[in-house]
Amino acid sequence: MLELDKKQVIITSSIIIETPIGEMIAYATENGICLLEFTDRKNMERQMQGLSTLAEINLTDLENRHIRLLKEELSEYFAGKLTTFSVELDMLGTDFQKRVWSQLLSIPYGKTISYIQEARLMGIESSVRAVANANGANKIAIIIPCHRVIGTNKTLTGYAGGLVRKRYLLDLESPEKSLFD
């Protein structure tokens, strides 16, 4: 059950952003970025439907201050000049999902962890599947770095943007520039 009153959240800004690994769509509220996804993301239609159950979408502004900063920071990130995003986020989801996404934010740039390690860090090792499902429900790709979560045996697993993109992002962030060769 969602612990959010839809009437409290209004999405006002939206933009399409070109990146080296594909087109992304971003939505923002007055509080921060609430969606950043590849436009061809697996289950994108379901993701958008889920977003509309969490917030009223009333696009009155193409670019608010959060969208402008997001564009700058994504450009710097893909150029290898930014390791930590400062753009404000408005995480729309259940309390459990927000807890999982906050844990993802603590994974350092250039590092990876497994799903079981993530659940263990949260003190809920027996809930690894619930943690993995919450990762999959992440609406703010790259900034909330679910791409930094890999299989226990150090394999690429599960990324809604596709494993090719996940590998690109991990290679971009890796000091060795190739985690999986």
Contact between 147 and 158 (Cβ < 8 Å): no
Residue 141: give the domain boundaries: 95-173
The pLDDT value given to residue 51: 76
Dump pLDDT digits (tens) for 85-101: 999 999 999 999 999 99
Nearest to 166 by CA among 155, 176, 175: 155
**83: exposed, middle or buried (Cβ count in 10 Å: 0-12, 13-18, 19+):** exposed
Does residue 165 sit in the same domain as residue 117?
yes
In percent, the amount of the chain with pLDDT more than 70 equals 92
Sheet of 33-38, strand order: 33-38, 22-29, 10-19, 56-61
d(CA 164, CA 166): 5
pLDDT number for residue 41: 80
pTM to 2 decimals?
0.88
Per-residue pLDDT of the chain (181 residues; tens, 9 = 90+): 444 555 467 888 888 999 999 999 999 999 999 999 999 887 777 777 777 778 787 777 677 899 999 999 999 999 999 999 999 999 999 999 999 999 999 999 999 999 999 999 999 999 999 999 999 999 999 999 999 999 888 888 888 889 999 999 999 998 765 555 4
Q: Which residue has the tokens 């934010």?
A: 105
Count of structural domains within the chain: 2
103 with 56, same domain: the answer is no
| Tokens standing for residue 14 | 């939206």
In a domain, 133, yes or no: yes
Q: What is the pLDDT of residue 2?
A: 45
Catalytic residues: 146
Which among 29, 44, 79 is the end of a domain?
A: 79
Instruction: Provide the pLDDT for residue 167.
Output: 94
Please report whether residue 103 resides in a domain.
yes
Of the three residues 79, 109, 124, the one that is the final residue of a domain is 79
